[in-house]
Structure 1
Amino acid sequence: MKKTRHDELEAVYLAFAKPLYFYLLKLTGSDIMAEELVQETFYRATLSLDLYEGRQVKTWLFKVARNAYMDEWRKRRRWGWIPFYNHLSNSTDFISPYGVPEDGLLVKEVADEVKNILELLPENYRTILYLREYEQFTYEELAKTLDISLDQVKVNLYRARQRFKQLAEKLGKDFERGDRYDVE
């Protein structure tokens, strides 16, 4: 049986809707806004399929999502609405049901600290750190998604990490290199 365009679009949606949702949730701090922007992303992607240059679908969709977010951000900025992480996770979604409860609590506390520091970073630093650390984008994927050169990716990522480290030190936080704390 031959795959139709509808089947292909559905497969892309099923593969990328959830990662896009979490990415947009990080940017907006609102689950409702993230859901709306995921729909807007796929709407825009469907309309601009003829402009698709054949690069990786993942990087293209994240770029479309980022552009949709930026358009919404500009629109709402005029009205003074710029939330980020404002309602995120006081839940225990990322505490493992296994192991020692104190360990889970410690992980949650550290994740909250990481989230609070991320809130203090400029949007471009939050974005590049999120895509690299949580979505595991390669440098090349970051360059394509953010529409910047590979060298600029390296510079921005370095600066974002340095700024994160400075803020952590200023707040008296010490995170070991390589530690990873999900803030979803």
Structure 2
Amino acid sequence: MKKQRKDDLETVYLAYAKPLYFYLLKLTGSDSIAEELVQETFYRATLSLDLYDGRQVKSWLYKVARNTYMDEWRKRKRWKWVPLYDYLSNSEEYVSPYGVPEEDLLNQEKSGEIQDISLLLPENYRTILYLREYEEFSYEEIAETLEITLDQVKVTIHRARQRFKQLADRLGKDFDRSGKDGME
């Protein structure tokens, strides 16, 4: 591998490995699977780097990550086992040395509730809300990443937010319109 290409790949990895991990963690609900999928994403990105046409790296990598997730999901579905949520990862205790511990606990609880509700959404709704609310993608970046039109992005975000609110209402939870209150 040429030195320039290796340096470029390393720069991209350092910039996007952590955000991709959190994206895949939200999709899978499992730390270990998210880690594996990040590695697979960069492996696939490395293999297809020559085919990459120079669009925005961020959108391209998220597209590769989503495709990697979908492949893994299909493979696990074939074996009738899909880890929708890793309850053990939420059993860890988080105590902040700053602020009021009760507030931290309430924020964690709200974040967990948001994640629980998000896991009830169809994959396309989870993905589009994650990209918009967590990663703060523009509508144009979402359209490019998911390979859909700008109008489809707007409609899908609207429907995903409505569905999220319906589920939250049904479960007796109260979040603002975007669901960002407790999102990390």
1:182 counterpart residue number: 183
Equivalent AA in structure 1 for residue 90 of structure 2: S
1:52 counterpart residue number: 52
Matches for 1:23-34 after TM superposition, within 5 Å: 23-34=23-34
Q: Among the aligned pairs, what percent are the same residue?
A: 70
Contact 2:63/2:146 (<8 A) preserved? yes
2:154 counterpart residue number: 154
2:43 counterpart residue number: 43
1:13 counterpart residue number: 13
How far apart are residue 14 of structure 1 and its match? Answer: 0.6
Distance 2:34 2:112 in 1: 20
How far apart are residue 131 of structure 1 and its match? Answer: 1.1
Equivalent AA in structure 1 for residue 77 of structure 2: R
CA 1:11/1:167 → structure 2, altered by over 3 Å: closer, same or farther? same
> When the two structures are superposed, what TM-score results if normalisation uses the length of structure 2?
0.91
Equivalent AA in structure 2 for residue 137 of structure 1: F
1:89 counterpart residue number: 90
Distance 2:24 2:38 in 1: 8
Distance 2:96 2:55 in 1: 37
Matches for 1:96-115 after TM superposition, within 5 Å: 96-115=96-115
Distance 1:130 1:170 in 2: 21
CA displacement, residues 46-100 of structure 1 (integer Å, 9 cap, x when unaligned): 111122121110000000010011111111111111122323433345x643212
CA 1:177/1:157 → structure 2, altered by over 3 Å: closer, same or farther? closer
For the residue of structure 2 that corresponds to 1:173, the secondary structure is coil
Equivalent AA in structure 2 for residue 6 of structure 1: K
Distance 2:92 2:122 in 1: 25
Distance 2:85 2:183 in 1: 13
For the residue of structure 2 that corresponds to 1:89, the secondary structure is helix
For the residue of structure 1 that corresponds to 2:90, the secondary structure is coil
Distance 2:96 2:181 in 1: 15
Q: Which runs of 5+ in 1 are unaligned?
A: none
Contact 2:132/2:138 (<8 A) preserved? yes
Distance 1:99 1:70 in 2: 40
Report the number of matched residues.
180
How far apart are residue 27 of structure 1 and its match? Answer: 1.2
